[in-house]
Amino acid sequence: MTNVNIIGLGMIRFNKYPERGVRDMAHEVINLALSDAGIKKEDLQAGFFSNTFWGMFDNQHSIRGQVVLRSMGIGAIPVVNVENACAGASTALHLAYTGIRAGMVDMALVVGSEKITHPDKIKSLSAYATCMDVDNFAKALEMMEKANTLFQVDIPDGQTPPGEGRSIFMDAYAMGARWHMTRFGSTQRQLAVICAKNHFHGSLNPMSQYQMDMTVDEVMAAKPIAYPLTRPMCAPVGDGAAAAIVCSEAYLAKLKNARPVKIRASVHGSGTDRDFDGEDIGERLVKKAYDMAGVGPGDISLAELHDATAYGELHQTEAMGFCPIGQGGPYAETGATRIGGKQPVNTSGGLECRGHPIGASGLAQIYELGVQLRGEAGKRQVAGARLGLAENGGGNIGVEEAAMCIHILEKA
């Protein structure tokens, strides 16, 4: 089977764009990716389009990819519409990867575009709840409330009930963080160290929604969201789009001046019913990714991990094998995950700072790894970057993600 290479990347800065829509943001990043790859839209052989909320906000429930591509003069090719909550864009990339590996196409376009900001803020926040089991939503709330008594963590006064004035996912992450504090002794300050690190990284990234540096003390003193999370520790609501063009070895050989990045591994899976101490979906899937790539966690130069909150990064550094389980907080305190450290994590600023427009986030991770492995990341460049890992989770059922994709990319 052929190797699969990324030959084109496109992304706009994630931000709040009240005047923009899913379609025009997608058009922009597609054109950027085509230009980056040095090909024309007529060369595209297949398309994979990721979006989650377009139907909820603008009633475009179906044929989203066809609507976007046809309106910019791209027709006839097969287009697959992908919805996998926050993991939609990485799932779209996985599908393109499998199609090329199978020899069905030689080159494919992958796009993620999402519009979440809305004049009605409650509508925006309530949209996130559709990334959970809506028929059992009350059960999820009950589990979160029960966790408050199970985990021996003193929660300060003034915390609002789950889901009020925030995404319900912040409560899910807060529940996980309190479990980790009880089980391993991690601290709120360690989460603040992770968050401050990401704000530093985001301050170096022109594509980041938040570009202001913050100290650990500033993060600790910020508005509480759901203990132990403060506002800077949580991904913001925002809009944006990203795209990638992938091809086979045979197609790559035809191109002049290509700057490819090789996909060494692409793994996709779903969560399971388990308790807090069971094997995590990330631990399960990353073993497959390392096996496929023929590498181990110590070989990874940098990683983009799904940090919808600072606890997400703490947890995933453990799940990916970068440090022992339970040691994510102390590991961050060593500086290992900061640019210049042993294994930089979320050099883009992560979801906390780069932003998290659901259907585009997975490809934003790929964009960051791509520019890093090409040596084009400017002030945030990781010296000697050779292998990059992206972990992108989507939705939630029970105590873990409903879906997840892990990609390992290699410098050409």
Tens digits of per-residue pLDDT, 262-313? 999 999 999 998 877 788 999 999 999 999 999 999 999 999 999 999 999 9
**Nearest alpha carbon to residue 140 among 321, 400, 406, 393:** 400
Contact 401, 385 (CB under 8 A): no
SS3 138: helix
Say which range, 127-141, 314-328, 360-374, has the weakest mean pLDDT: 127-141
SS3 378: helix
Largest CA distance in the chain: 64
pLDDT tens digits, residue range 186-211? 999 999 999 999 999 999 999 999 99
Show the tokens assigned to 70.
């046809």
Averaged confidence pLDDT in the chain: 93
Residue 388's pLDDT is 98
Q: Which residue matches tokens 């990203």?
A: 242
pLDDT tens digits, residue range 135-160? 886 776 666 666 666 666 666 665 65
- The span from the CA of 343 to the CA of 57, in Å, is 39
- The span from the CA of 11 to the CA of 362, in Å, is 12
Over range 321-339, report the average pLDDT: 98
Contact 392, 86 (CB under 8 A): yes
Residue 164's pLDDT is 57
Alpha helices in 345-399 (DSSP H): 350-354, 361-373
Residue 157's pLDDT is 63
Over range 343-351, report the average pLDDT: 98
Residue 167's pLDDT is 74
The answer on pLDDT for 386 being more than 70 is yes
SS3 224: strand
Q: Does domain 4-119+238-262 have CATH number 3.90.1150.10?
A: no
Over range 31-48, report the average pLDDT: 98
Residue 129 DSSP label: G
Domain 4-119+238-262 and domain 121-236+265-411, same fold? Reply is yes
Please list, in sequence order, all residues whose beta carbon lies within 8 angstroms of the beta carbon of residue 277, skipping any fewer than 6 positions away: 183
Pick among 3.30.479.10, 3.40.50.620, 3.40.47.10, 3.10.20.600: CATH of 121-236+265-411: 3.40.47.10
Residue 276's pLDDT is 77
Is the backbone of residue 254 left (phi > 0), alpha (psi -120 to 50) or beta? alpha
Q: State what percent of residues in the chain have pLDDT above 70.
A: 93
The answer on pLDDT for 373 being more than 80 is yes
Rg of the chain over all Cα atoms, to the nearest angstrom: 20
- The span from the CA of 51 to the CA of 112, in Å, is 6
Q: Which residues are catalytic?
A: 86, 356
pTM assigned to the model: 0.94
Contact 245, 93 (CB under 8 A): no
The answer on pLDDT for 80 being more than 70 is yes
Please list, in sequence order, all residues whose beta carbon lies within 8 angstroms of the beta carbon of residue 67, skipping any fewer than 6 positions away: 23, 60
* The residue type at 159: Q
| Every domain of the chain and the residues it spans | 4-119+238-262, 121-236+265-411
**Confidence class of residue 121 from pLDDT cuts 50, 70 and 90?**
confident
Residue 150's pLDDT is 63
